[in-house]
């Protein structure tokens, strides 16, 4: 699992420049439409703008990890059978490791959404969950064009991870409120504990880690074979 996390951090570093360019472009559009000006920027403050930049960078990271961007366009082939996989029984024979990683992938996304839009009650948690759900749904549907299988497991895990990040951010901000810091501690602990219990309970149903390990070993073997074959040429 640690290798996946390290790879994810590397992808995030690679997406910093792209995220900054998109963030600047987005702000230029807002300025041109008069949706944002100098006074509003002062009102938002540096922390808000920094978190907004982090959100754009992290969205680029998610889209990179899931194969939406930085993928060879020539490989885009729509497949109806791939879409049918969204109707499979959730988590049957799934890898609990991959389920956990998919949850963790969307947790920072939910955290940043709350920091930007949730803490001032601009966005209810119900609407926030819909953001996480439809973001994941878009990714899963788009993967049908990239040769990857859309999975209902990923859709549920991503949405759950988004909610974990959203609730954790709510508890985190409550820690800075003298009247509500106890609720913040309870909220963070209860969210983390419930997440761990859910993953543990799910491990009895999603018992495909051995199969996942075999698939990873096969992929590595084929990559090694490809490298050796190219060296021979």
Residue 60 shares a structural domain with residue 93: no
Residue 105 shares a structural domain with residue 220: yes
Residue partners of 224: CB distance under 8 A and separation at least 6 = none
Question: What was the pLDDT predicted at 214?
Answer: 53
Residue 161 shares a structural domain with residue 198: yes
More confident residue, 192 or 86: 192
DSSP-derived secondary structure for 119-134: TTTSS-HHHHHHHHHH
Question: What was the pLDDT predicted at 75?
Answer: 54
Residue 102 shares a structural domain with residue 135: yes
Residue 118 shares a structural domain with residue 42: no
Give the range among 68-72, 107-111, 156-160 with minimum mean pLDDT. Answer: 68-72
Mean local confidence (pLDDT), 202-215: 66
* 80 domain-assigned: no
Question: What was the pLDDT predicted at 108?
Answer: 95
Among 32, 65, 98, the domain-final residue is: 65
* 98 domain-assigned: yes
* 74 domain-assigned: no
Residue 126 shares a structural domain with residue 174: yes
pLDDT of 193 higher than 90: yes
* 82 domain-assigned: no
Residue 92 shares a structural domain with residue 169: yes
Residue 194 shares a structural domain with residue 225: yes
Residue 25 shares a structural domain with residue 125: no
Query: Of 169, 86, 98, which Cα lies nearest the Cα of 128?
Result: 169
Residue 97 shares a structural domain with residue 32: no
**How far apart are the C-alpha atoms of 206 and 125, rounded to whole Å?**
28
Number of domains in the chain: 2
Domain carrying residue 171: 87-232
25-54 pLDDT, tens digit per residue, is 998 998 888 887 777 677 777 888 899 999
**How far apart are the C-alpha atoms of 68 and 154, rounded to whole Å?**
15
19 pLDDT tier (thresholds 50, 70, 90)? very high
Residue 50 shares a structural domain with residue 138: no
* 28 domain-assigned: yes
Task: Give me the chain's average pLDDT, please.
Answer: 81
* 152 domain-assigned: yes
Residue 20 shares a structural domain with residue 98: no
Residue partners of 16: CB distance under 8 A and separation at least 6 = 57
Please list the alpha-helical segments (H only) found in the chain.
Answer: 2-14, 16-32, 38-65, 80-84, 96-113, 125-142, 152-174, 181-202, 209-232
* 70 domain-assigned: no
Share above pLDDT 70 across residues of the chain, in percent, rounded to a whole number? 79
Mean local confidence (pLDDT), 169-194: 91
Question: What was the pLDDT predicted at 224?
Answer: 60
211-229 pLDDT, tens digit per residue, is 555 555 545 555 565 555 5
SS3 (DSSP) at 37: coil
Question: What was the pLDDT predicted at 149?
Answer: 75
95-149 pLDDT, tens digit per residue, is 888 889 999 999 999 999 999 887 666 677 788 889 999 999 999 888 877 767 7
Question: What was the pLDDT predicted at 48?
Answer: 85
Q: Which residues pair with 207 in a beta bridge?
A: 95
* 81 domain-assigned: no
């Amino acid at each position: 699992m640690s290798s996946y996390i390290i790879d994810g951090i590397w992808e995030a570093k690679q997406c910093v420049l792209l995220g900054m360019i998109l963030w600047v472009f987005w702000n230029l559009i807002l300025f041109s439409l008069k949706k944002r000006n100098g006074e509003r920027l002062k009102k938002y403050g540096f922390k808000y703008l920094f978190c907004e930049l982090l959100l754009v960078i992290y969205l680029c990271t998610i889209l990179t990890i899931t194969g939406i961007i930085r993928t060879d366009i020539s490989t885009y082939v729509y497949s109806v059978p791939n879409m049918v996989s969204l109707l499979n029984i959730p988590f049957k024979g799934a890898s609990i490791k991959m389920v956990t990683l998919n949850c963790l992938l969307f947790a920072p996304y939910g955290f940043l959404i709350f920091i930007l839009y949730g803490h001032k009650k601009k966005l209810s948690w119900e609407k926030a969950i819909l953001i996480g759900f439809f973001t994941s749904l878009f990714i899963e549907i788009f993967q049908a064009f990239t040769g990857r299988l859309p999975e209902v497991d990923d859709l549920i895990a991503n949405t759950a991870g988004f909610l974990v990040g959203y609730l954790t951010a709510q508890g985190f901000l409550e820690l800075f409120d003298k009247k509500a810091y106890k609720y913040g501690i309870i909220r963070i602990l209860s969210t983390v504990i419930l997440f761990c219990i859910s993953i543990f309970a799910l491990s009895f149903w999603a018992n495909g880690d051995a199969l996942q390990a075999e698939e990873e070993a096969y992929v590595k073997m084929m990559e090694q074979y490809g490298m050796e074959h190219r060296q021979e040429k």
